[in-house]
Amino acid sequence: MEFEDEIFNDGLPKAYYKHNDNGQYVLETNAPWAEKVSCALIIAGNRANLEEIRKAVLAGQKSPLCYYMEMRQMDPGILAKAAGIAVFRVKRHFRPEIFAKLKPSVLNRYTKALRVTLEELKTVPNI
């Protein structure tokens, strides 16, 4: 699965509206060139952010929670709501020393919200 599919449409086909020769709207599955360029720029930016966060996690500056939150294009507020945890606690869990002490019940909330396994949540991919 391509990174674009995972970010934007979860693997489902995209549909675009365009005018046909009669001036009516029809569905088109091929993306216009402007959207392809925009998507490429967004994906490049996301990959750069993910790599920066991954390096910070490996350096011990952030918890893996930051990486997976960014991978799912969430912010602390969205993650807090999805996991049922207060925003200030989510931000606190970005600190590696706090994240390492989290109870399994809290980690399970994050795994469900981020759609990752517990083992994945505790580490970041080695690229």
Q: How confident is the model at residue 1 (pLDDT cuts 50, 70, 90)?
A: very low
Q: Is the pLDDT of residue 47 over 50?
A: yes
Structure tokens at 76: 């602390």
Tokens 């690229």: give the residue: 127
Q: What is the pLDDT of residue 55?
A: 95
pTM, entire model: 0.71
What mean pLDDT is reported for the chain?
86
- With beta carbons less than 8 A apart as the criterion, state whether 7 and 46 touch: yes
pLDDT in tens, 55-98: 999 999 999 999 999 999 999 999 999 999 999 999 999 999 99
Q: Is the pLDDT of residue 38 over 80?
A: no
Query: Which domains are delineated in the chain?
Result: 13-121 (1.10.260)
3 CB-near residues (< 8 Å, 6+ apart): 43, 46, 47
